[in-house]
Amino acid sequence: MTGLGYAVDALAAWLAGSSEPGWFAVGLAALVVWVGPLLGVVFPLAALGQIVERKVAAAIQRRHGPNSASLDGPLRFVVRVLLWFLPRARQDRVLAALLRLPLVRSLLPVLQRLGIGQLAADGVKMLGKEDIVPRGADGVVFRLAPYLALLGAFLPFCALPFAHHLVMLEVSVGALYAVAVSGITVTALLMAGWGSGNKFSLLGGMRAVAQMVSYEIPVGLAIAGVVLWSGTMDLHGIVAQQYRPGVVSCLGWNLLQSPFLAVLAGVFFLAGLAECQRTPFDMAEAESELVSGFNTEYSGLRWGLFALAEYTEMILIGALFATLFLGGYQSPVGEQWLVAAPVWLSVPIHGLVFLSKSLLALFVMVWIRWTLPRYRVDQVMRLCWLVLVPLCLVALFGLALQLVLTGGTVAGDGYGRLPARQRPDLGALAWLLGWLVPVAAGAVLVRLAYRAHGSTHPALLALTRDPAAGGRP
């Protein structure tokens, strides 16, 4: 055990009063040291994801989005609850003093305009809504589903390194673990669809299962490519392998290592979109077709849990993408100084960098959702089995070939955890083999696929040219 794992041990020992604590003490200690803070980071982030979604959607649709819910009331409520032991008059005095603070007075309107107040209002609304279990529903299944969905979205975070050695479960097969436990979500959606006793929900649930089970294959293949490249399934090891000394440390990221890895990254992101049921793959929800799909019959807190699970999963996909392809928690520049920096400095920065990368991916997902239409269910399947899976296999093969040709699996490891085998420097030849040939072949393939698929009718292309810009597109 490393890092804060020691803290768990120490706390458990202290709780149990012996050097070999039982499972209960260890569990409690892990809850206090790990799960609590992780929940405290991931779930607020998911809630923030909803605000990001609404604000970005508003920007795309040229409107303001939530900006009217004041934070004044929630602040008063929280302060009064915290100061419950004081008489009301003194609470008033504290509140007045608090609201006079320049920081509070300037910050509250800003947060209101950012829509944070709406978050509080929505939360309260959700808690206060009537909790309905439809008459035809399978009560147990119906009630259990949202918790499972949340579990499936949350558990993979345990294996993700948030900073150097800041990882909850240091499993040697972290990549496998993350994919495996996120599969719980499939069950949850099926349970929700089946248990609701509604045909639209049932269709949504069935679509969710068919789609998520299918898309786990390209996700798995993409991860396999990264594993092949880095020679480890340990997520921490995968991050460490992307370390590159020098100012521009992002040159070591997997995304930039090989065109095949770049293709796999694209596939991973697309399949990840499908895994978390986002447009253009939101078959299970499909508002205009299935009303709200699997969660049509849900209301109040349970619906809220589904929404939370959705955003948690989006952040998870973003975090996994960052871990596998964007160097994880490593800073894009000057990572070598961060590695050398003291822990109190590097861990928060690493954590922030990691979360920013996840949020960036979340932003892209939101952007896609409010731009693109939705695929049809058969097109989603066709895309998976006839495009993404073969593409993955080809990329995987190409990657293996590249590894064989250029020799060695691992470029270097700043943390000294993996055998550092330097690849022979083939100079221009490696560049030619590694980048130019695959990219050229890819371009030809894309062009052929585009031609086979059929492009936009020439008469319609004229419509996309701006008359004010002299007919230029």
Partner 1 sequence: VTVEATTLAGERMQLNLGPQHPATHGVLRIRIESDGEVVSTCIPDHGYLHRSIEKIGECVEWAMFVPYTDRVDYVCAMNANLAYCLAVERLLATDATTAVVVPRRAECIRVLVAELNRISSHLIAVGAMAMDIGAYTPFLHGIAQRELVNDIFEKLCGQRLTYNYVTIGGVAFDLHPGAPAEIAAFLDQLERELVRFHRLVTTNTIFRDRCAGVAVVTAAEAIAWGLVGPNLRGSGVDFDLRRDEPYGIYGELGVRVPTGQGYAGRRGAVGDCYDRYIVRVLEIQESVRLCRLVLQQLPPAAEKATDPVGGWQADVGKQLKKPPKGHVHCRTEAPRGEMGYFLVSDGTKQPYRVRVRTGSFSAAGIFHKVMRGIFLADVVAVIGSFDVVVPEIDR
Footprint of partner 1 on this chain (CB under 8 A)? Answer: 57, 60-63, 199-200, 203, 206-207, 279-280, 282, 286-289, 291, 370-379, 453-457, 459-461, 463-468
CB of 298 to partner 1, least distance (A): 17
C-beta closer to partner 1: residue 140 or 449: 449
CB of 441 to partner 1, least distance (A): 22
C-beta closer to partner 1: residue 198 or 402: 198
Euclidean distance between CA atoms 294 and 9, whole angstroms:
42
CB of 299 to partner 1, least distance (A): 16
CB of 281 to partner 1, least distance (A): 10
Cβ-count burial 399-430 (b if 16+ within 10 Å, e if not): beebbeebeeebbbbbeeebeeeeeeeeeeeb
C-beta closer to partner 1: residue 106 or 288: 288
C-beta closer to partner 1: residue 61 or 68: 61
CB of 455 to partner 1, least distance (A): 7
CB of 204 to partner 1, least distance (A): 11
CB of 358 to partner 1, least distance (A): 24
C-beta closer to partner 1: residue 60 or 436: 60
C-beta closer to partner 1: residue 12 or 283: 283
C-beta closer to partner 1: residue 203 or 227: 203
